[in-house]
Structure formats: C-alpha cells, structure tokens
Amino acid sequence: MIRNYIRIALRNLWKNKFMSVVNILGLSVGLSAALVIWMIVHYDLSFDTFHKDRDRMYRVVSKLDFNKMIIKTSGVPIPMLPELRANVPGVEKAALIYQYSPNVKIKEQKFGVQKRIAFAEPEYFSLIDYKWIYGSPAVLKNPLQTVLTEERAAQYFPGTALQDVIGREVTYDDSIRVAVSGIVQSLKGNTDFTFQEFVSMQTVLSDQGLKKMRGWDAWNNFNSGISMFVKLRPGVEKEKIEARIMGITKAHDDEDSKNQYTLQPLREIHFNSEIGAFDQRQANLPVLYKLGALVVFLLLLGCINFVNLQTAQAGERAKEIGIRKSLGSSKGRVILQFLGESFVLTAFAAALSVLMVPGILSAFNSFIPDGVTMAMFAEWQIFLFIPILVLLVGLMAGIYPSFVLARFQPVAVLKNQVHGIKGKARLRQVLTISQFSIALVLIMATVIVGEQTKYAYRKDLGFDKEARFFLKAPGSRATTEALKAKLDAFPEVEMLSYGYSAPLSLGTSSTTMSLGTGEMAEKAMVEAKYIDANYVPFYKIKLLAGRNILPSDTAREMLINESYARAAGFAKPEDAIGQLLSFNDKKKPVVGVVADFHTKGMQTEIMPLALTSDWLAKTSLHVSLHRDADVHRTMDKIKAAWNEVFPNDEFKATYVDDALEIFYQSEKRLNQLLSWATGVAIFISCLGLLGLAIYATRQRTKEIGIRKVLGASVGSIVMLFSKDVTKLICIAAFIATGIAWYAMDSWLQNFAYHINIPWWVFPLAAAAALLLGLVTVASQAFKAAMVNPVRSLKSE
Amino acid sequence: MIQLRNISKHYPVGFGKHEILKEVNLVIHEGEFVSIMGPSGSGKSTLLHILGLLEEPSDGEYLFQGELVHKMNDKKRTQLHRGAIGFVFQAYHLIDELTVYENIETPLLYKNMPSSERKSRVADILDRFNMVAKKDLFPNQLSGGQQQLVGIARAIVAEPTVIFADEPTGNLHSDQAKSIMELFAELNKKDGITIVQVTHSDLNAGYGNKVIEIMDGRVK
C-alpha cells in the first residue's frame, strides 16, 4: 500500500512539475535554515560532554556588587582554594586554572605573546582527564615546571622529537625560566578547555614577590582569568556548598560586602556569556533564538505555498478521491495518501536543502561557529534530524489539505458537482495575505534597520574622527615620549596627543567622584578619560565654558562634560567653573566644561564624564596627518620610527573611524540576516502567487474565452485578474505596517539615540510588494488573455 | 438482498424542496439482472447512488442484505464498498495516474489482501479479459471500450455480490456496447453476480431479466 502511495505521489509530482518545483523550492529554503540551526545547536550542546562525573563538577563564580554596578566573573580569590580542600567536606576535589598570556622566549627566539597558557596544579588533571604522553600530573608539584600539548611542543620546538622536548627551557616575560617536564594530548571532542601550556602554580606560590605582585594571596583579587573548579561528593547539594563558601568568605570580605559566590555547573560554562569560558567563543543564545524564529517563518511560508497549491488543485484531484472512496477507501486512507504526497515532496525539498547548507555556512560565517561544517552530517544526530524534519514539516504542510480532500463525498465528485472548492478560496486568500504580511514586515524591518545603522554612522559624535589614528605604546613613558619626539619632527604630522583611549572606545574607565549638588554630590560612578592638554583641540571637542587643562603628568585640573555639569546641578556650564571635584580623596578644580560627545555607540546614552591629565594618557599616542600628506609614505615613515623605538612589537595603527564599527557589528549582522530573509520570503511568496495565478487562469480559461468573444480587450482581462491580488496585498500591507511599526519601535528602544520611524517605509514596501505581485499575476493573465478564444472554448 | 421501503430523496431549494425520488418501494433478489430505465432527470442515477450507498435517502428504509443501511456507520459502509459492492461508471472513472494493472489492484489493496494473492487475482482477471498485454498502459492510452473493460475488471476483482452500473455503455459505440453487455450477462449467469444497471437503451435492458421504470421520481 505504501509503495502504491509513493508511486502515485511521484507520478503526481511529475505530472505537475511546475507546482512541485514551487513547493520544493519554497520548503527547501526553510529546511536548509532549520538544518543549519540544528547543526549549531548540536555543536554547542556537544561542548564538554565527555568529562567523567561532569554532573558533579562546578566552577565557583562570583557576583560582585559595587553599588549600582554588578559584575559577574569567574574570578574568585585564590586563598579560597585551600579552604575548600580542607574545610568543606562535601567537596571531593578542588582545582584552579589561572590564565596567563606572557611573552614567550625560547633561547633567543621570540614567540611574542602566547595565549592558551594557564597556571595549574596536579589536581586540575584529576578533574579534567588528559592523556599524558610524557611525565605525569605530579611534575606540576614543583616550581618552574611547564607541561605542553603536542601542538605547542611542535610550535616551540619544530622538528624535535617529543622525548627530546622534555627538559628544554621556556622563558616567560623575560623573567620566569621554566623547564618542560611533561607532554599531554589536547582534549578530544568539542571543548572550551583548549589550554596548550600548563605552568606549575608553585612557580608563583613559592615566590613571595611574585605571589604578592600577582595578588595570589589577596581575598579581593577577582581576576577573570581565574577559574576554580570543584567536584562534589555524590549526593551533595550544590546549595549547601554555596552556603559554606559564603561562610568562608564572610571572614575575609568587607563587612558590608554584598558579593555572592555560586557554583556554575560545568555544562553551563559554554552558554553563560556573562561569565565567559576562558576567552573561548560561547553559544550565542539570543542569536540562536532569532535564527530559530526566522526558520519558523520561512518554513511557514513554504507550508503556506503547499496548502494553497494543494487546495487550489483539489478540483482536479477530486475525481480520484471519489473513485477511491467508491472502491472502499476509508477517509483515513485518503488522508494517508495525501500526507504521503506531502512527505515525498518534503523529502525532495530536504535533499535539496542539504545541498544548500554549504552555501549558507559560508554566507553566514560571522554567525556560525567554525566547528560547524558539512562533516557534521556524518554524526547520527545530524543525519537523523533530516527524516524527523521531513516528518514534521510534511505533516505541517500536508495535514490540512489532506483532511480537506478526504472530506469529499464520492457521489458529488462522480456527478461532476465539484469545481474546485469554493469555500476554500477564502482560506487561500487568508494564507496569501499572511504570506505577504510576513514578507512585508521583513522588507520594512530591513529598511528601518538600515536607516538606523546609517543614522548611527553619520550622527555627529561631538568630536572629529576623520583621518585620526592612535598607536598603543607597549613600553614605558620614556619610550612613548621618544616615539612622540620622532613623529613631531615629521612635517606630514599635523598634531599629536596623548590619551589613554580615543573619545569613542569599547573599554570604559570609571571611578567614583563627587561634585556639586544632588545625586552627584555623593560618591557616584563617573566615566573618566586620561588625556593631555592637546586632546581637546586634537579631537576638536567643543569647549562650552572655561578653558582647556594645562600640560601636566598628574591630575591637577578637571574638564567635565555638559551632562556631568547638568547632573551635578549647575544650571549653566559657566557655573561649574572653579568648583571642586573630589576624586581619589583629593579635590581638583573644574577648569572647563566641554560639549557632550559620544564615548560609546548610539545604544548608550551620554553619561557624566570627566577628563583629566594623567600619566596613564601616555599609553597611547594619537596622530593626525595634514590633509595633503601622502598617507602611504607617511605611514611607512611612522612605522619605521616605531620599529626603531619598539623593535620587538608589531606596528598597529587603529583608526578612530574603525572604533565605531565595533559598536554596530550586531546591527550589521542583523541587517545582513534580514536582507537575506526578505529576499527569500519575497521569492517564496511570489512563487506561491505564481502557482495560484496559474491555477486561476487555467480554471477561468472558458470565462476568458467568453469575455473575449463578447469584446473584452486583453487589458481589461489582465485588470480582472490583477484586482484580486491588489486587494490581498493591500490588506497585507495594512497588517504588516502595524506589526512592523510595533516591532521596530521596540527595537529602536535599544538605542539611546535613534531615528523616528520614517513614514515612507510603509507605502514604499507596499508598493514594492504590489509591483512584484502584479507582475507575477499579470504575466499569467496576459498569457491566458492572448489565447485565441476559439481554442479556449473548445477545450471545455 | 435489496429492499427499499418508501424511499424519498429531496434537496432544499429556496423555501421549498426539490423532490427527486418519491416513496420508492422495490425488491431486488440475489442473482437478478435489473435495468432501471426512464427519461433524463427522472431520478435513475440518484436511485442507483442510494442503492450503492453513495448517497443517503431523505426518508424511508433501505435494507441491504437484511441490514438497515441508515443504521450502519461509516466503517461498515466502507467495508461493503470493499467487499460486497462493485461500481461501473458511464465515464469509466479510472484513476488517471495509475496503470491498468494498478487500477484493478486498488480495491484489493483496500481489502488488505496479501501481495501474492493480489497478484494472482489481478493476473486472472487480466487473462480473462484478454488485457495482459495492456496491463502497463495508462487509461488515456486506451480506447473507451477498453477503459470500460478495465472499469468492469476493477469492479469484479474483489468478487462483489452486486454490481451497480451507471449507463455503462453511454459513452461507447454500439459494437463496444454489445460486447460490454454480453460480459455483464455472462457475469450474471456464470458468476451469479447481481447486476443493477441504469440505461436508456431497450436493447441493453434486453440483456437483463427485470426492468424498473421510473418517471418523475416514482416507480411505475
């Protein structure tokens, strides 16, 4: 029986080739998107699933409460570790990892800053199981020992046999000389534990100077490079241990400390982006949710096409159903048969969608983790997902048409009383309206996101960002000054300035200050920028009142921005001049008020800000060139000067323009995603419309013939068919306008500075959709209207 | 085997109703070859559809093999369509997407017959109707007479006790009509299948052994 159904299904697909193509294309887009999402989800879920007893393993994390600012971090005080081992009986094992990124040198060969290095103890290896090729965890009991993975060993000692690597010396930061005493294999499988090099913790612990300098003995060191792991004894509740940890830290934290310590299950590490996972890429849940919603929409569009076309051709299938019923087919069997057709069709679409996956992976590589590749199809979880998807989507698409078709009464069919299903025309209209609503919402959203992004890029930031770059100096103040002296001599250089960061930068320095009256009078968090006297003129920041700071290497005078002056209760900027601002327990005079400028992207409101001179400013040198300078040649000269001062460090100029980019990455991605989805949605909807138009003209061939015999022009017939689709798209435009307005208005609230939704977006999108819809339908109507009426009337 | 008591059929039209059949009483015995005759619009086809359980009467009682039809549920009716009843239509009503072989096989599929038995049954019928060579053709590759032959083959393959035929030769020319009617007569005599046909033609009615004349919805 099933073979029989499949055979009929295939023959029907072949008979209605065009409709099959429409359906398969429409469904395959959604299916391929679903496949990719599943691959990402599966990839992310597969992280660190192989650790023994992982259900009992946790990472201790802190929630630090700095009055109005909460920071979650994996950093916990290192002295907690011995306490956990000695005084918490529920803890079976405890170990920590401290990430370390030193400059690495081997003999005279410099490897530069290396990542994926960590301080570790032997206990770490009893929690996370590594395969040891040489040595054993015990080697890390002693100071000045290091363990490499095979890959790291090959990187540091190329061409050397692994056993010969043992005993070789590696120098960190020019001062710590360690011996390689073990080689391990990297963990197999997807994992965030990708450390390549383990330095014995005793290296620091046994050296009182190092220990103190690195804060390893401090109860207030919450360095996010620290990750402390515990393995609980079987049956021990994590809440009990958390309470014990709170008890231990109470003795050492400040009295009014509101800091909290909790246990983060191992499986959550990959998913909690607030805390991070050893600086590795984590699962991006918001993006996954967004993509998931998109997949549902795309699948819905494809299914709507299927429902529309199946019910539209119901009249043609009715005869078969009537005969089958008179031969003894039950309703259930008819349903099964039509479901079979939708499954076969969906299976074709699924096959096609697999072919589309590589294209999607490369087009969206900014969303998709590198580990997600076509190779994943070899895994059964991915492979088996395809038939499950076919079953689900086939059911979703097929269930309604199957029930409608199965409801036909055989006698009505055999008496030729069925001419399509009249009542179902309304349903098709509703579905077409929904389809176009989705497409229209997407068009509108794309335009509005584009407009807002354009606005964000073009808005006056309050400072001049054009043709300015900065160099982050790695050395001491003296070397930075040496670099400045060299650049000062170049005629092409217009101006130079020291500044800890550009006016707009991702990082923020904040500190508590008090000034004026109101909420700012008490200690409040204020953003601080460390600059020199050139900074304000360099970036053409406007001075509203008072004067610029005088050259100095320490904080002697303060500039504040307008927002700070207002928040501190000064009605006019002038009123703030001469007031004392207390900061680091010292009082400094405010000498000037500058106009507000953006220190972050448009998402963030301009907050109170203070600028002051400080030696910290000398970590970056900001450079602007004369307009007529030959940029290429000048950059080469500057690079040469850099290499003289910093022979060991790579030259890197960061343009202030580019800093803006970082703030709008997610908007740009959203825009890319939306544009793609819009294109696909319009494509699927128009395909469906084309299918419906073909059926409509086929059904009304006779009517067209009669009208033409009666003297109708081709134009009037095309009009006749276009009227319906115009009505549908107009209704869709109204619905979409409402939805898009609401959705985009709430999206724009993410921005402290945003556009008003431009009204023209809505009629423009509607007009575009209408044009596409009309072209689709009118082309079919035109074809039908051009046929000689004698032929169309004969065909009856 | 078939008994109709005061069967009526009407459709609502506006505020009144359009009566098609009025208080029809008739009895058809097993093994009979009955022809229902009458002018166009007299209600012949509706009567046949009621007899074939494709339509329900508005009033009256219908006993099929001694059982009250209006008390049967859908499942029971489907069972009868699978086993006891066969249909032959004027327009043949073969399934266009299936080959001759598959069309004949379809009723057996609905009976859940095992594949080997199905094969031998269809093969027997094809043999008997001299259509073995045409078994892989599709309906639109056959002449009208051949299509109707397939229609009859399909009707009898499940070995029904009664065949309802709605103007089975209506679309055929006289030679083909003659051979089809001879086939019905043979099925009636040799296989003992009860046959009820609707026809316009006295010639066709001549093959049967009982004529029911119907006029304006009443049996004369």
pLDDT given at position A447: 93
Residues A202 and A176 in one domain: yes
pLDDT given at position A424: 66
Say if the ipTM goes beyond 0.85.
Answer: no
Residues A147 and A199 in one domain: yes
In the structure, what pLDDT confidence band is assigned to residue A796 with cuts at 50, 70 and 90?
very low
If one counts the domains in chain A, the total is 4
Strands A91-100 and A70-73: unpaired
Cβ distance A411 to B96 less than 8 Å, yes or no, reads no
Closest-CA residue in chain B for A15?
Answer: B97
The reply to whether A779 falls in a domain is yes
Structure token digits, residue A667: 């908007």
Percentage above 90 pLDDT, chain A? 37
CA distance A675 to A681: 10
Q: Which residues fall within 8 angstroms of residue A138, CB to CB, at 6 or more apart?
A: A122
Q: Above 80 in pLDDT, residue A69?
A: no
> Of A1, A333, A410, which is closest to B54 when you measure between CB atoms?
A410
State how far residue A51 is from chain B, nearest Cα, in angstroms: 53
> Of A322, A327, A415, which is closest to B110 when you measure between CB atoms?
A327
A–B interface: beta-carbon pairs under 8 A:
63
Residues A501 and A520 in one domain: yes
Cβ distance B97 to A12 less than 8 Å, yes or no, reads yes
Q: What is the pLDDT of residues A511-564, one digit of tens each?
A: 778 888 877 887 777 888 999 999 999 999 999 999 999 988 888 899 999 999
The reply to whether A287 falls in a domain is no
Residues A447 and A485 in one domain: no
State how far residue A17 is from chain B, nearest Cα, in angstroms: 14
Residues A388 and A443 in one domain: no
Closest-CA residue in chain B for A321?
Answer: B95
Question: How far is the CA of A666 from the CAs of A527, A661, A718, in angstroms?
Answer: 24, 10, 45
Residues A114 and A256 in one domain: yes
Residue B74 sits at the chain A interface (C-beta within 8 Å):
yes
A interface with B, Cβ–Cβ below 8 Å: 1, 4, 7-8, 11-12, 15, 319-320, 322-331, 333, 409-411, 414-415
- The pTM of this model reads 0.76
Residues A161 and A206 in one domain: yes
> Of A4, A15, A409, which is closest to B109 when you measure between CB atoms?
A4
Give the least confident one: A41-55, A129-143, A314-328: A314-328
The reply to whether A275 falls in a domain is no
Cβ distance B79 to A12 less than 8 Å, yes or no, reads no
Contacts of B94 in chain A (CB under 8 A): 323
pLDDT given at position A118: 94
Q: Which domain holds residue A653?
A: 468-660
For residues A356-365, give the mean pLDDT: 89
Q: What is the pLDDT of residues A701-732, one digit of tens each?
A: 777 887 877 777 888 888 888 888 899 999 99
Q: Which residues fall within 8 angstroms of residue A673, CB to CB, at 6 or more apart?
A: A290, A291, A294, A364, A367
> Of B87, B96, B112, which is closest to A326 when you measure between CB atoms?
B87
Residues A620 and A538 in one domain: yes
> Of B78, B95, B107, which is closest to A330 when you measure between CB atoms?
B78
The reply to whether A286 falls in a domain is no
- Radius of gyration of chain A from its Cα atoms, rounded to whole angstroms: 35
Q: For residue B128, what is the enclosing H or E element?
A: helix B115-128
State how far residue A8 is from chain B, nearest Cα, in angstroms: 7
**Residue closest to B108 by CA, chosen among B160, B161, B163:** B160
The reply to whether A729 falls in a domain is yes
Contacts of A1 in chain B (CB under 8 A): 109, 112
Residues A428 and A414 in one domain: no
Cβ contact A528:A547 at 8 Å = no
**Residue closest to A538 by CA, chosen among A476, A434, A619, A468:** A468
For residues A452-477, give the mean pLDDT: 87
Residue B140 sits at the chain A interface (C-beta within 8 Å):
no
The reply to whether A280 falls in a domain is no
Q: Above 60 in pLDDT, residue A94?
A: yes
pLDDT given at position A276: 81
Q: What is the pLDDT of residues A603-657, one digit of tens each?
A: 888 989 999 998 888 889 999 998 888 889 999 999 999 988 887 777 889 888 8
Residue B200 sits at the chain A interface (C-beta within 8 Å):
no
Mutate to test the interface with A, among B88, B96, B108, B148 (most CBs of A within 10 A): B96
Closest-CA residue in chain A for B114?
Answer: A1
State how far residue B85 is from chain A, nearest Cα, in angstroms: 8
Residue B60 sits at the chain A interface (C-beta within 8 Å):
no
Q: For residue A120, what is the enclosing H or E element?
A: strand A117-120
The type of residue at B99 is T
Structure token digits, residue A242: 């958390």
Residues A89 and A14 in one domain: no
CATH number listed for the domain at residues B32-42+74-219: 3.40.50.300
Mutate to test the interface with B, among A11, A327, A335, A417 (most CBs of B within 10 A): A327
Contacts of B54 in chain A (CB under 8 A): 326, 409-411, 414
Cβ distance A414 to B83 less than 8 Å, yes or no, reads no
Residues A565 and A688 in one domain: no
3-class DSSP assignment, residue A173: coil
In the structure, what pLDDT confidence band is assigned to residue A698 with cuts at 50, 70 and 90?
confident
> Of A323, A409, A411, which is closest to B95 when you measure between CB atoms?
A323
For residues A312-328, give the mean pLDDT: 82
| Average pLDDT along chain B | 89
> Of A8, A15, A328, which is closest to B82 when you measure between CB atoms?
A328
Cβ distance B107 to A327 less than 8 Å, yes or no, reads yes
Strands A558-561 and A586-594: parallel
The reply to whether A290 falls in a domain is no
Percentage above 70 pLDDT, chain A? 97
Higher pLDDT, A2 or B19: B19
> Of A4, A322, A411, which is closest to B55 when you measure between CB atoms?
A411
Q: Above 70 in pLDDT, residue A422?
A: no
Residues A444 and A377 in one domain: no
- Residue pointed to by tokens 């965890």: A137
The reply to whether A282 falls in a domain is no
